[in-house]
Amino acid sequence: MARRRGVTDPGRLAASRVARKVGVRVAILSAVMVVAGVLLLFSYLWVDDRQHRPHGPEGRPEPRGRALDVRLDPGDFLEIIPLVAGAAIVLAGGGAMLFARQAVKPLEASLRRQRNFVGDASHELRTPLAVLDARVQHLQLLTRDDPALQPVVAELRTDSREMAGIIDDLLAAVSDTETEFEPAPLGRAIADVLAELNIVADQRGVTLSVDGAAPEATDPLVNVPASSLRRSLLAVVDNAVGHSAPGTTVTVQSSASRGFATIRVIDQGRGITGISPDRIFERFARGAVPEGEAARRSHGIGLALVHDVATRHGGSVAVESTGPHGTTIRLRLPLASDRNVR
């Protein structure tokens, strides 16, 4: 049925099949509960009828043929209702537990396969990344006398380390283990991200600006790994640049209070259309492309990764406002302290 309606995603098809099975079983359980209630009521009436029949010489109730003498008063209802309700609760609870176990089994298997794949792929990527980093270090030594190449090689090494950090984060996510990390300076991360995206912004004719940057001596530390913080900021700012028109400005504001750092990325685009603002943090979710503009090349997972990083470390990300004059995305991350720095 789901396939005929145009649903081809294997996960959604599996979920649809499980939902149908659960629905059928719940219907069967409801029918069993109704039948059980009728039987309990009939049994009660039968026992009550035998108790109220005239007794013969031997103390046995006299036969009445096939008819029951039904006599119910409020007291009888008070006796029947708890009995039927108790039996219904027991049946419903037992059936729900059984159905829940059966329904969760395919989800557990799917989650296990996904975790195994991510873990295996991440583990296999660590070796070539380590080799790449070693070769970049060698290249740094070979080009140390060339001032024109040194900055480029240094950026290559930074990129290789960033990729290694992503792999480590993936391994930590699938293993559910707490990894040690140093808190990251927010202002420095914002400055690095804006410097990296300046080329992209210039190509689109977009201006990048920062508001609220603290001096280095008072730069707030957030309780997030530096690589995760940088990737999150990069994804949000890059998304804002990609949806901004030439001649507009993307502003990054930052502040710290009450144990949290708040980062707002404000663009002057046309706002989020074609999708609910809350859904842009879902994987593969994409809004509508304005008429006359080419679709931006994106796999739709950047903001989803931002959401994962923020929630994993006790923060949040949300669309604070959106409209024809622009969109503001707010990212809140916990500040580092003696209690939560690991």
* pLDDT tens digits, 179-200: 677 899 999 999 989 988 898 8
End-to-end CA distance of the chain: 51
**Residue that wins the pLDDT comparison between 168 and 57:** 168
The total number of structural domains that make up the chain = 3
Confidence category of residue 134, pLDDT binned at 50, 70, 90: confident
Tokens of 154: 């240094």
Interatomic CA distance for residues 285 and 279, integer angstroms = 7
Q: What pLDDT score does 1 carry?
A: 43
Q: What pLDDT score does 282 carry?
A: 79
Q: What pLDDT score does 2 carry?
A: 41
pLDDT of 252 over the 50 cut: yes
**Residue that wins the pLDDT comparison between 132 and 62:** 132
Does residue 103 sit in the same domain as residue 78? yes
Does residue 205 sit in the same domain as residue 314? yes
Give the domain range for residue 203. Answer: 184-289+298-334
Interatomic CA distance for residues 333 and 316, integer angstroms = 7
Residue found by looking up tokens 């603002």 in the block: 277
Longest dimension (CA), the chain: 122
pLDDT in tens, 226-249: 888 988 999 899 999 988 999 999
Q: What pLDDT score does 90 carry?
A: 73
Q: Which long-range contacts (CB under 8 A, 24 or more apart) does 272-275 make?
A: 272/319, 272/322, 272/327
By the 10 Å C-beta count (0-12 exposed, 13-18 middle, 19+ buried), 119 is classed as middle
Task: Give a yes or no: residue 2 inside a domain.
Answer: no
Does residue 73 sit in the same domain as residue 160? no
pLDDT in tens, 81-95: 676 677 777 767 776
Cβ–Cβ < 8 Å for 269, 244: yes
pLDDT of 224 over the 70 cut: yes
Confidence category of residue 211, pLDDT binned at 50, 70, 90: confident
Task: Give a yes or no: residue 124 inside a domain.
Answer: yes
Interatomic CA distance for residues 184 and 173, integer angstroms = 19
Q: What pLDDT score does 145 carry?
A: 85
pLDDT of 60 over the 80 cut: no
Does residue 149 sit in the same domain as residue 202? no
Summarize the confidence of residues 148-176 as an average pLDDT. 75
Does residue 281 sit in the same domain as residue 239? yes
Percent of the chain with pLDDT over 70: 62
Torsion 15-17-21-26 (CA) sign: positive
Task: Give a yes or no: residue 207 inside a domain.
Answer: yes
Does residue 199 sit in the same domain as residue 323? yes
Task: Give a yes or no: residue 4 inside a domain.
Answer: no
Task: Give a yes or no: residue 275 inside a domain.
Answer: yes
Interatomic CA distance for residues 186 and 254, integer angstroms = 8
Task: Give a yes or no: residue 317 inside a domain.
Answer: yes
Interatomic CA distance for residues 253 and 255, integer angstroms = 7
Q: Among the three residues 131, 148, 175, which one is the final residue of a domain in this structure?
A: 175
Does residue 160 sit in the same domain as residue 69? no
Tokens of 340: 């939560």
Q: Alpha carbon of 149 to those of 129, 132, 160, 167, 198: distances in Å?
A: 21, 18, 17, 27, 20
Q: What pLDDT score does 21 carry?
A: 72
Q: Among the three residues 86, 115, 144, which one is the final residue of a domain in this structure?
A: 115
pLDDT of 341 over the 50 cut: no
Task: Give a yes or no: residue 97 inside a domain.
Answer: yes
Please provide the average confidence, as pLDDT, over all residues in the chain. Answer: 75
Q: What pLDDT score does 298 carry?
A: 46
- CA-nearest of 163, 243, 166 to 206 is 243
Helices 226-242/186-204 angle, 10° precision: 30
Does residue 152 sit in the same domain as residue 193? no
Confidence category of residue 140, pLDDT binned at 50, 70, 90: confident
Task: Give a yes or no: residue 3 inside a domain.
Answer: no
Does residue 214 sit in the same domain as residue 199? yes
Q: Alpha carbon of 105 to those of 15, 99, 114, 122, 276: distances in Å?
A: 11, 10, 14, 26, 31
Q: What pLDDT score does 339 carry?
A: 39
pLDDT of 255 over the 70 cut: yes
Does residue 241 sit in the same domain as residue 304? yes
Does residue 204 sit in the same domain as residue 318? yes
Confidence (pTM): 0.57
Does residue 327 sit in the same domain as residue 232? yes
Run of H or E residues at 332: strand 326-334
Summarize the confidence of residues 281-285 as an average pLDDT. 72
117-121, 188-192, 273-277: which range is least confident on average? 117-121
